[in-house]
Amino acid sequence: MISVSNLSVGFSGSYLFEDISFLINKQDRIGLAGKNGAGKSTLLKILAGFQNPSKGEVSKPNDCTVGYLPQDMVHNLGKTVFDETATAFNEVKKLEASISNITHQLETRTDYESDDYMNLITQLNEAHERLDIIGAGSINEKIELTLLGLGFERKDFTRLTDEFSGGWRMRIELAKILLQKPNVVLLDEPTNHLDIESILWLEEFLKNYYGAVVMVSHDKRFLDNLTTRTIEISMGQIFDYRSNYSKYLVLRKERKEQQEAAAKNQQKYIDKTQQLIDKYRAKANKASFAQSLIKKLDKIEIVEVDSRITPAYIFVFRRLHDQVK
């Protein structure tokens, strides 16, 4: 559905991500995890096409639509809650106009055998299929149900969006995205401005959603009930887990323990080798042996433990480097 390949994003010389790749499949339910400032919002922005990566690319089929709820945004003002939400159906209006145009052409043209004519039939089918997904049933009823689900009352529908707080305006944006039924929904902390009832409603809505959903949320229960995949951003890399948030926390702890054990073993090996080097490098008949050990150590790939390259490791690196030079 969406393919992220060899993506790197850097600001002022250092990388937020370096060379990350992953696929978003048709019905994925993905939670993005990572510390504050890890790059979750940046990744969503890039997936939504609102920011360009430094390197690599995000590719998706031409007909793949994406809906994106940012963490912070500027809202449209001047319309009533209902009318603003109804702008979600601009695509329906476009599709209806296109269907009427194509139908007219098919009725009036006589080049039945031409490629052009066949293309028109294909376009008409595609427009009908898309309309079935987003436009079936009464538009007004859908708008009402969605707004009510997200906590608005009927009497709010005719009030201007200007009268509502930022949190409530965010709900209008969320309603619009859900009504547009994009193939991929990207939500950056959607639960921040929702009360528990609206969160439960959103959860139910997204559970049955026909497309893919990628989201960031601090609401563990919400994530656990929805996601089946967790992508963690850490130290410029991603770690892709086929599990919901709670399970991911357990798996991550295991991964960290394994890394720590491996790093500890490696440190032991480095210390031992270093002792040998110190012992033999001054002796003429063992100098080449010491040199070979130095080279061996220099080639070691230091095991990194998440969020922690200890000063000791950096020290070993420098010392080895100086020795080889």
Given a contact cutoff of 8 angstroms between Cβ atoms, the answer to whether 145 and 152 are in contact is no
Q: CB-based burial of residue 305 (10 Å sphere; 0-12 exposed, 13-18 middle, 19+ buried)?
A: buried
Beta carbon of residue 134, minimum distance to ligand ATP (angstroms, whole number): 29
Q: Closest Cα to residue 42, out of 6, 5, 68?
A: 68
233-292 positions binding ligand ATP, by CB under 6 A: none
Residue 33 binds which entry of ligand ATP, Mg ion, none, CB below 5-8 Å type-dependent: none
Please tell me whether residue 10 binds ligand ATP under the rule CB under 6 A. no
Over the window 35 to 74, marking each residue x when it contacts Mg ion by CB under 5 A and - when it does not, the resulting string is -----xx-----------------------------x---
Q: Give the CB-nearest residue to Mg ion.
A: 41
Over the window 63 to 82, marking each residue x when it contacts ligand ATP by CB under 6 A and - when it does not, the resulting string is --------x-----------
What amino acid is encoded at 140 in this protein?
Answer: N
3-state secondary structure of 267: helix
| Cα(41)–Cα(53) distance, integer angstroms | 13
Q: Where are the alpha helices (DSSP H) in 109-195?
A: 115-135, 139-149, 166-180
Ramachandran sector of residue 196 (left: φ over 0; alpha: ψ -120 to 50; beta: rest): alpha
What amino acid is encoded at 297 in this protein?
Answer: L
Nearer to Mg ion, 45 or 181 (CB): 45
What amino acid is encoded at 239 in this protein?
Answer: F
Among 2, 4, 7, 16, binds ligand ATP (CB under 6 A): 16
Beta carbon of residue 184, minimum distance to Mg ion (angstroms, whole number): 18
Beta carbon of residue 69, minimum distance to ligand ATP (angstroms, whole number): 13
> How many secondary structure helices (H) and strands (E) does the chain include?
11, 9
3-state secondary structure of 238: strand
Nearer to ligand ATP, 34 or 151 (CB): 34
Beta carbon of residue 165, minimum distance to ligand ATP (angstroms, whole number): 20
Over the window 17 to 56, marking each residue x when it contacts ligand ATP by CB under 6 A and - when it does not, the resulting string is -----------------x-xxxxxxx--------------
| Residue ranges binding ligand ATP (CB under 6 A) | 11, 16, 34, 36-42, 71
